[in-house]
Amino acid sequence: MSKASRLTLIKSVALAMPIYAMNTARIPKAICAKLDARIRRFWWGAKEENARLLCLKAWDNLCVPKACGGLWLRQMSSMNKEIIAKWGWDLLMGKNSQCLLFLQGKYLRAENFRSMEAKPPDSSFWKAIIESRDSLLRGACFHIGDGSSVNIWEDP
Query: Is residue 65 located within the same domain as residue 88?
Result: no
Q: How many domains does the chain have?
A: 2
3-state secondary structure the chain: CCHHHHHHHHHHHHCCCCHHHHCCCCCCHHHHHHHHHHHHHHHCCCCCCCCCCCCCCCHHHHCCCHHHCCCCCCCHHHHHHHHHHHHHHHHHHCCCCHHHHHHHHHHCCCCCCCCCCCCCCCCHHHHHHHHHHHHHHHHCCCCCCCCCCCCCCCCC
Q: Would you say residue 152 lies in a domain? A: no
Which residues, at least 6 apart from 42, have a Cβ–Cβ distance to it below 8 Å? 6, 9, 10, 14
Q: Would you say residue 156 lies in a domain? A: no
pLDDT for 1 equals 87
**Residue 8 belongs to what domain range?**
3-78
pLDDT for 80 equals 95
Query: Is residue 69 located within the same domain as residue 106?
Result: no
Q: Would you say residue 151 lies in a domain? A: no
Q: Which residues of the chain have pLDDT under 50?
A: none
Is 0.75 topped by the overall pTM? yes
Query: Is residue 68 located within the same domain as residue 110?
Result: no
pLDDT for 50 equals 77
> What are the φ/ψ torsions at residue 7 (nearest 5 degrees)?
-65, -40
Judge residue 88's burial from the number of C-beta atoms within 10 Å of its C-beta, 0-12 exposed, 13-18 middle, 19 or more buried: buried
Cβ contact 9:43 at 8 Å: no
pLDDT for 11 equals 94
